[in-house]
Amino acid sequence: MLSISNLEVVYNKVILSLRGLSLDVPDGSIVALLGANGAGKSTTARAVTGLLGAHNGAITKGTITFEGQDLAGANPTHIVKAGITQVMEGRRTFADLTVEENLRCGAYAVKDKSANAEAYERVMDLFPVLRDRRRQVAGYLSGGEQQMLAMGRALMGAPKLMILDEPSLGLAPLLVEHIRKIIVDINQQGTSVLLIEQNAMMALSIAAYGYIMETGKVVMDGAGEKLLADEEVQEFYLGLHGDDGEQRSFRDAKHYKRRKRWL
């Protein structure tokens, strides 16, 4: 469905952020994109959804295709109409609007009223709490409720592919598990998902395939179960218990063995 090949992105005509990134999201799947802060995960999302220009970024090399369409450098409105929506890091809800008004904003590019009504009911079924809060101002919602609202707003566009950027950020473990289950439900209803996360346990437990980034490059990839069982992934993301039974600190973890697939 989505194919990114040898992508390079530069900010302010100077800073090279992505260095030959390649990844694929098959139709109907959940694909995880993992990496530490600064690895280039959010830049990847911006490149796909056409938002690089708002951050003084530009694609300087490579291709992005979605269902055969070339999207590299395309207008964000065109990308949304093609079937891609994004839930940004930090939720980015409209704090002064009500829950229902936020949701209606998500359907702005869809002119079919019956499709809008169907999408609205889908969101309310997935997030019953939003039905109870639909007249409430979004800025007064809890962090978990705002995350649900951001996801619901993205679903109002009836996307074929939804990009989730750090949906578990700042949430309590019980809410993370709830969001995880909702992502699975969304996927089972026919929406493909590119899940950008630092929470490797949550992401890889539901992803069919995963990519791990460092400094703008993919350094490891494989089936979700395979990556979750990999010693280096466990060491870097999940902590490590050595032979002596003592847990090592995060900064002692090794970097991944670089597989220079970008060449």
pLDDT at 238: 61
Give, for 201, the enclosing helix (H) or strand (E): helix 200-206
pLDDT at 109: 76
By the 8 A CB rule, do 200 and 23 touch?
no
Residue (of 196, 202, 211, 177) closest to 87 by Cα position: 196
pTM of the model: 0.86
- Cα–Cα dist 193/201, whole Å: 17
- 99-106 vs 143-155: helix axis angle to the nearest 10? 30
Phi, psi of 256 (to 5 degrees): -70, 150
Helices and strands in the chain: count of H runs, count of E runs? 10, 10
> What average pLDDT values come out for the chain (263 residues) when binned by 10 residues?
95 92 96 90 94 93 94 91 90 89 86 85 91 90 90 92 91 90 94 93 94 91 91 71 46 47 41
Task: Domains for the chain: give ranges and CATH numbers.
Answer: 1-83+160-263 (3.40.50.300), 92-158 (no CATH)
pLDDT at 181: 94
Burial 90-123 (b: 16+ CB within 10 A, else e): ebebeeeeebbebbeebbeeeeeeeebeebbebb
- Cα–Cα dist 141/239, whole Å: 33
In this structure, what token pair is assigned to residue 181? 């289950």
pLDDT at 245: 43
pLDDT at 239: 55
- Cα–Cα dist 108/260, whole Å: 42
pLDDT at 3: 96
Given strand 2-11, what is the order of strands in its sheet? 15-25, 2-11, 57-66, 69-70
pLDDT at 250: 40
By the 8 A CB rule, do 89 and 169 touch?
yes
